[in-house]
Each structure stands twice: as structure tokens, then as C-alpha cells.
A and B are shown apart, each in its own frame.
Chain A
Amino acid sequence: MSTDFTPALKLDLGATPPGQTQSAASAEAAGESEIHDVVIVGSGPAGYTAAIYTARAHLNPVVLAGSVTAGGDLMNTTEVENYPGFTDGIMGPELMSTMEAQAERFGADIRYEDAIKLDLAGEIKEITVEGGQVLRAKAVILATGSAYRELGLEDEKRLSGHGVSWCATCDGFFFKGQNIAVVGGGDSAIEEATFLTKFADKVTLIHRRDEFRASEIMQKRAFDDPKIEILWNKQVIGISGEAKVEELSLEDTVTGEVSPLAVTGLFVAIGSDPRTALFKDQVEITPDGTVAVQGRSSKTSLPGVFAAGDVLDPTYRQAITAAGSGCVAAIDVEHYLAGHGA
């Protein structure tokens, strides 16, 4: 529901950039000739916060939210206890639909579509969505978040959906009264493990080091839970089972000894990787795999291309830091479009 008026802030594009005539024709053929001020790719706390700010700055943002993943990571969790402003916590999906509604209130054009190709180098950026439509924009904010990591084991894919899972809130229900395992050592691994004790009889938390990365409060939760057993210095090297998970093969990271563990489920929570596949050949990427930005800004190696949230963050990766980073990107876009900075 973007209102159709010309924004006060205008980027002076000067001469027609090379190749624009041709791309304009292809964009028109695909049904959209308008040049947007800003397209935001991604719909987590970073994307929606950037949308709130750019919409309030009358930049009429288009948000590509994803066809089935809109709302980002927090759609897969229950209680979010550390997002400021909610004394008693808030459910992840509720927080995200509130952010979305807030962005919409200021006129953000939110589309449940997937960006499948980005051409970021030119003055006018082209964003192709699934189905072939091409959006054109003066600025792009990359807020694609991160994707959970897989163990990389042979039987992991085959048994995914048959005991191997990445979403405790989605799948815990199927493990009532059972004996299951969680692999990982960060906040989300412990959160999954404690959540799963609501259903399972016993949850074994497998971690490859002898201490957790997780925050103190989460660690204490795991230590205090009688249903959680912690196996230190172990890594999962095999998953077996005919039609469903039956047994894990664990290797001791100190002694190298291999031992079996009989479980019916394995929840994988070993972290996530920034989702950069669409643009990693166009913008600079850090050795951590995140999008490289200049200093405290959101500016990537390409003018007019900004990043926000987990996709640029190798360290903090929280909803609030992602939201803050979305705000930074929005303000950088405002300055860029006003002809300053960049």
C-alpha cells in the first residue's frame, strides 16, 4: 500500500547509467517500470526496523519478506524474554507480526516474495523476484539473516523429518515421553533443550567442548533441569536408523573414543551461517562469511548497497542488535539518497 507521491529526498542520478536503457526495457516487460527509492531484502527484526525508519522518512520502501519465511528466525521460537519493552516477554511470532504491522502503518509495501537474483553494481539496482518480476531501486538493504547450520553427516538429510530436526517449537510435540538429544552449546541449543523437556522424558545435550558459549542464565537453566543430561567433549559423527533416528554415534573430542547413544530424535542447534548466496560475488564478504561494512555504518563495498542484521554480524546476533542495525541501514540510506555520504 505504498502511497504514490514523489519523496522529498531525491538522489541526483545525473546521466543515464550504462546499460539502463536495456534494463529499463526488461523491467517494463516484466511489469514494473517504477524506480523505487529503496528495496529491503529480508523481513526479520533488521528488515522490518529498516522498513519502519525508511517508511517514516517517506522513502516508500518495498520489503521482500520471503514467500514462506516472512518474519525471520523469531517465527520459530516461543518466548522472547530479552527484547526490551515487554516486561513479561513476548512470543517470537507475535513480536514479528507487530513489527510488520508497524512498518505497514507508515506505508511500507511488504511483499511475501523471494528475491532470487540481485544486480547491485549499477546506479540502479535490479532485484528479480521468484516468477521473474524485476524491481528497480536506487538503494538496497540486505537483511537476509542467517540460516541454520547442518552437521554435514551423510544420513542427516535422509532422516530430516524422521527424527532429525532444527525447530524444537515445531517438532517437540512428536517426542512425548521419548529420549532425545540436542547438539550445540550456545543459547539456542540450551533454549531448545529446556523447551524439549516439556515433552521428552530425557534430553541429552551434546557439546564438543567442556564449557558452553551460552549466557550464564541459560547455562544455569540447563544445569538445574533434572531432565537434561550434558555430555561434554562429544561430537556427533553419525546418525543411524532405518526409517527413523535410532542411534547416534559420538566421538570424544579429547580421547577420540567412539560411543553409541540410543535416541529417537536429534535437534541440531550448532549455529547459523549468514545468508549471502545471492550477493556474495558482488559485495565484499569478511573471513567470517558476513557482509563487510564500513566501520559502524551499514555501507557495503558497493555504493547504494547497505546491510543490516545477522547477515553482517559475526558476534552478537540478537533480535535487538538486528533491529538496531536495521535502523542504522535506514538512516544510511536516507543520507545516501539525499546525496550525502555514500
Chain B
Amino acid sequence: MSTIDVTTSEFEAEVLNSDKPVIVDFWAEWCGPCRMVGPVLEAISDEHADSVKVVKVNVDDNQEIAAKYGITSIPAVYLFNDGKVQKQSIGAKPKAALEKEFADYLGSE
């Protein structure tokens, strides 16, 4: 399963009401490091498809959500579970580092 784009109007259904934990990648076109994080999350999404869902939120097009979660730096990768932010990771990080930070939610794979 690959990452999907989520907009403000879909956020509640796709993220907050998801029955699985959701990793949200807040990104924008003009953010250099964000381009590097995309493929990393794509890989995490493929490898941990059973445990988590990975979605992307373009902060340019969805400023309300970014503001709601107080995001002032991207790339920002948040993990939501039961409608709440459980983990936050700021900046471009290698796959292994992200997997470690989110280990509680990624299952045993």
C-alpha cells in the first residue's frame, strides 16, 4: 500500500477516525528535505502495511490542519492513534530512525 494524499475535508475520516494508527507526513513542494522523506515513508508504508497507514498532507493547500496541530517546521511526521497525536518527528530522518521512533505502532515486522 502506498501513501495517499489527504485534504482538510478528508482528515477526520482518514486520520482521526482511522481504525489503524496513521502516520501523517506534513510537506510542501518548496521544502527540499521533504522530498527526501517521501520515499522513506513510502517504504515504511509498504513494509508495515498491516500495522499502519501512511498519508501526506500538503501544508500549502491545507493550512488549517497545519495550524491546528501547531506545525511550524516541515518535514513534520506525526503519528495519530485514536484521533490523537501520539508521536512527532521533526526534520528529515533516515528510515531506521523513524522506525525506531514509531516502533510501538509498527508491529513486529
Interface residue ranges, A against B (CB under 8 Å): 67-71, 75-76, 92-93, 114, 130-131, 160-165, 167, 169-171, 173-175, 243-244, 265
- B37→A174 contact, CB < 8 A: no
Interface string of B58-82 (1 = CB under 8 A from A): 0110000010001111111000000
- A165→B73 contact, CB < 8 A: yes
Query: How far is A244 from B94 in the complex, measured between Cα atoms in Å?
Result: 26
- Grouping DSSP codes into helix (H, G, I), strand (E, B) and loop, the B interface class, with mixed when no group exceeds half, is loop
* Residues A76 and B88 in contact in the complex (CB < 8 Å), given A114-B94, A130-B96: no
* Residues A170 and B93 in contact in the complex (CB < 8 Å), given A67-B40, A68-B40, A161-B72: no
* Residues A68 and B93 in contact in the complex (CB < 8 Å), given A76-B32, A170-B33, A173-B30: yes
Query: How far is A69 from B75 in the complex, measured between Cα atoms in Å?
Result: 12
Give, as a whole number of angstroms, the nearest-CB distance from A68 to chain B. Answer: 4
How many residues on chain B are close to A (CB under 8 Å)?
Answer: 27
Partner pick for A92 among B32, B34, B73, CB 8 A cutoff: B32
Interface string of B32-59 (1 = CB under 8 A from A): 1110110010000000000000000001
Query: How far is A128 from B28 in the complex, measured between Cα atoms in Å?
Result: 33
Give, as a whole number of angstroms, the nearest-CB distance from A6 to chain B. Answer: 34
For window 82-99 of B, CB contacts with A under 8 Å fall at 88, 90-96
Chain B residues with CB below 8 A from A173, complex form = 28, 30, 59-60
Chain A residues with CB below 8 A from B1, complex form = none
Chain A residues with CB below 8 A from B91, complex form = 161
* Residues A174 and B30 in contact in the complex (CB < 8 Å), given A68-B37, A68-B92, A160-B90: no
